[in-house]
């Protein structure tokens, strides 16, 4: 499964540091993801419909969202339900692909996982661009536990 570009955003609440990294790769194996299971799932319904997945901790979920036309400067939120998510979970979300458009020309998608509680977390797909989204996204979700 090829990737043309990986965008990752991490936020540190205490110091309000926003860091964006852009990496190029040819496959998930380039990121060491060949050592964990990858579950692919298509979001049912709309862009705000809950996604239910049963992946083990440490595994990776590739979520194909429904189409979004979110305006510039807005965010769309959906829930991910997984019995392995706890209040001690570290959940990372990264937009790894889009169905159409060009980053910056048709919005700039950034994903953020937050509000992890027993059995679920929220995923925001934020439009950091100056124009509306057009199409669906592929969001890579990584679930791990604090030790």
14-49: pLDDT as tens digits: 222 222 233 323 334 444 444 567 888 999 999 999
78-113: pLDDT as tens digits: 999 998 888 988 999 999 998 877 777 789 999 999
Q: Domain ranges for the chain, please list them.
A: 6-145
Helix (H, G, I), strand (E, B) or coil at 58: coil
What's the rounded Cα separation, in Å, for the pair 112 and 144? Answer: 15
What's the rounded Cα separation, in Å, for the pair 106 and 135? Answer: 9
Q: pTM surpassing 0.75? A: no
């Amino acid at each position: 499964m090829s990737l043309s570009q990986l965008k990752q955003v991490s936020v540190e609440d205490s110091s309000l540091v926003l860091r964006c990294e852009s990496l190029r790769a040819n496959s998930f194996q380039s990121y060491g993801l060949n050592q964990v299971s990858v579950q692919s799932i298509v979001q049912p319904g709309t862009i705000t419909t809950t996604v239910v997945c049963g992946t083990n901790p440490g595994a990776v979920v590739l979520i194909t969202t429904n189409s979004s036309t979110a305006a510039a400067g807005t965010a769309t939120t959906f829930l991910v339900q997984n019995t392995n998510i706890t209040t001690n979970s570290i959940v990372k979300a990264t937009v790894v692909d889009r169905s159409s458009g060009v980053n910056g020309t048709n919005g700039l998608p950034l994903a953020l996982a937050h509000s992890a509680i027993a059995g679920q977390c929220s995923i925001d797909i934020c439009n950091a661009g100056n124009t509306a989204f057009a199409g669906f996204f592929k969001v890579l979700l990584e679930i791990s536990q604090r030790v």
